[in-house]
């Protein structure tokens, strides 16, 4: 037990933030290898975000040159997907600052995304084929998920399973791949870590969906209640719709894809509370989180889940 405790304290000494600095440096090295001044200049303007995927890789695979490279690859892929998502969603804000498509135009956002994707793939070819394939497959999944997200947002959707399948593709698949590939890298059993990553990703996104309803614009770094206004019927809305009577269902349906008035916004938030739609979504996320804990017996990874479930932004 002492040895195990000692092992964890070593990991604690190398703090998450310090470990992430190595990943950031590796990302910049990969982008510098593209050898294009315009690309480098554009890349440094991107805000890094939580680096959840990189932290996950380092926590599972430890801190080695290979794990840092894998973490940097996964984060480059994530950055590329956000660049393209923001073009597709016509988003003007990302992580509280103006998105690249808003400041530099959609074209440059598309091109930078393509460059980051391809550079990540080039670097992936240095890994064994099973690792490279699982990460590459995740990119297909997330691109397909983005397409389904856009198609689903064109009409009202009250099918929770269809919504969760899309969430898996769009958000959880890359987190699952980060966990699976880093387990493969160090010879750990891949499936439990993959399940952990998948459930972390799903519950992460459900918490995001909840925060869109319960938080304010300053905390979110984007307008509150914007998901539903953009046509996205997230889990809280699906659960609320199930619980409403026919008259209320009509009102909620009519607000789909619209920027709500102040009174409509208040109504949505109140009904979410009175019908426990938020609570039900949170409970579902907590179930996924507990399943993930059961899959992987690792206190640090359990802490990641707890912090994610408790986050307010």
**Subset of residues 252 to 291 that bind a second copy, contact rule: CB under 8 A:** none
- Binding part of the chain for a second copy, among 103-111, 186-194, 225-233, 244-252 by CB under 8 A, reads 103-111
- Cβ-based nearer residue to a second copy, 70 or 285: 70
Q: Which residues from 159-198 bind a second copy, rule CB under 8 A?
A: none
Closest CA to 295 of 188, 167, 205, 221: 188
Q: From CA 307, how far away is CA 230, in angstroms rounded?
A: 28
Site for a second copy in 110-149 (CB under 8 A): 110-112, 114-115, 117-119, 121-122, 124-126, 129, 132-133, 136-137, 139-140, 143-144, 146-148
Q: What are the CA-CA distances from residue 58 to residues 72, 127, 178, 181, 184 (Å)?
A: 10, 16, 10, 11, 13
Contact 122, 169 (CB under 8 A): no
- Residue 213 CB, shortest distance to a second copy, in Å, is 25
From 151, 186, 189, 266, residue interacting with a second copy (rule: CB under 8 A):
151
Q: What stretch of H or E contains 107?
A: helix 106-124
Is the Cβ of residue 114 or residue 306 nearer to a second copy in the bound state?
114
- Kindly tell me which of 9 and 154 has the beta carbon lying closer to a second copy: 154
- In the complex, the smallest distance separating the C-beta of residue 175 from a second copy, rounded to whole angstroms, is 16
> What is the b/e burial string over 198-233, where b = at least 16 CB atoms within 10 angstroms of the residue's CB?
bbbbbbbbbbbbbbbbbbeeeebebebbbbbbbbbb
The footprint of a second copy on residues 10-39 (CB under 8 A) is 34, 36, 38-39
Cα(70)–Cα(154) distance, rounded to whole angstroms? 36
Q: How far apart are CA 101 and CA 85, in angstroms?
A: 10
**b or e along 45-61 (b: 16 or more beta carbons within 10 Å of the residue's beta carbon)?**
ebeeeebbbbbbbbbbb
How many angstroms separate the CA atoms of 43 and 156, rounded? 36
Residue in the block written with tokens 């359990």: 302
CA distance 266 to 259: 13
Nearer Cβ to a second copy, position 84 or 280? 84
**Site for a second copy (CB under 8 A): how many residues?**
38
CB of 30: closest distance to a second copy in angstroms?
10
Tell me: does residue 108 bind a second copy (CB under 8 A). yes
For the CB of residue 194, give the shortest distance to a second copy in the complex, in Å.
16
39 to 98, contacts with a second copy by CB under 8 A? 39, 81, 84, 87-88
Nearer CB in complex with a second copy: 83/309 = 83
State in angstroms the smallest separation of the CB of 241 from a second copy.
25
List of residues contacting a second copy (CB under 8 A) = 34, 36, 38-39, 81, 84, 87-88, 106-108, 110-112, 114-115, 117-119, 121-122, 124-126, 129, 132-133, 136-137, 139-140, 143-144, 146-148, 150-151
């Amino acid at each position: 037990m002492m040895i195990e405790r000692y092992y964890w304290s070593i990991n604690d000494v190398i703090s998450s933030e310090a470990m992430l600095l190595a990943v950031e440096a590796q990302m910049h090295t990969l982008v510098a290898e593209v050898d294009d001044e315009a690309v480098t200049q554009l890349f440094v303007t991107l805000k890094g975000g939580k680096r959840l995927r990189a932290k996950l890789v380092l926590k599972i695979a430890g801190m080695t040159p290979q794990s840092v490279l894998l973490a940097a690859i996964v984060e480059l892929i994530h950055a590329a997907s956000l660049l393209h998502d923001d073009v597709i969603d016509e988003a003007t804000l990302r992580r509280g600052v103006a998105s690249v498509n808003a400041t530099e135009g959609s074209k440059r956002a598309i091109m930078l995304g393509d460059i980051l994707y391809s550079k990540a793939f080039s670097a992936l070819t240095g890994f064994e084929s099973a690792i490279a394939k699982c990460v590459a497959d995740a990119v297909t999944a997330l691109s397909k998920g983005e397409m389904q997200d856009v198609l689903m947002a064109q009409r009202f959707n009250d099918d929770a399973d269809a919504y969760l399948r899309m969430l898996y593709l769009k958000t959880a698949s890359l987190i699952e791949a980060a966990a699976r590939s880093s387990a493969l890298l160090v010879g750990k059993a891949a499936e439990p870590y993959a399940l952990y990553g998948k459930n972390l990703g799903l519950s992460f996104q459900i918490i995001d969906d909840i925060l869109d309803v319960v938080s304010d614009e300053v905390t979110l770094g984007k307008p509150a209640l914007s998901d539903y206004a953009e046509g996205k019927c997230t889990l809280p809305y699906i659960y609320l719709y199930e619980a409403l009577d026919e008259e209320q269902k009509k009102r909620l349906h009519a607000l789909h894809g619209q920027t709500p008035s102040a009174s409509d916004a208040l109504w949505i938030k109140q009904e979410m509370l009175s019908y426990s739609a938020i609570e039900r979504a949170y409970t579902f996320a907590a179930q996924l989180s507990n399943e993930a804990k059961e899959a992987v017996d690792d206190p640090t990874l359990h802490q990641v889940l707890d912090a994610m479930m408790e986050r307010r932004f």
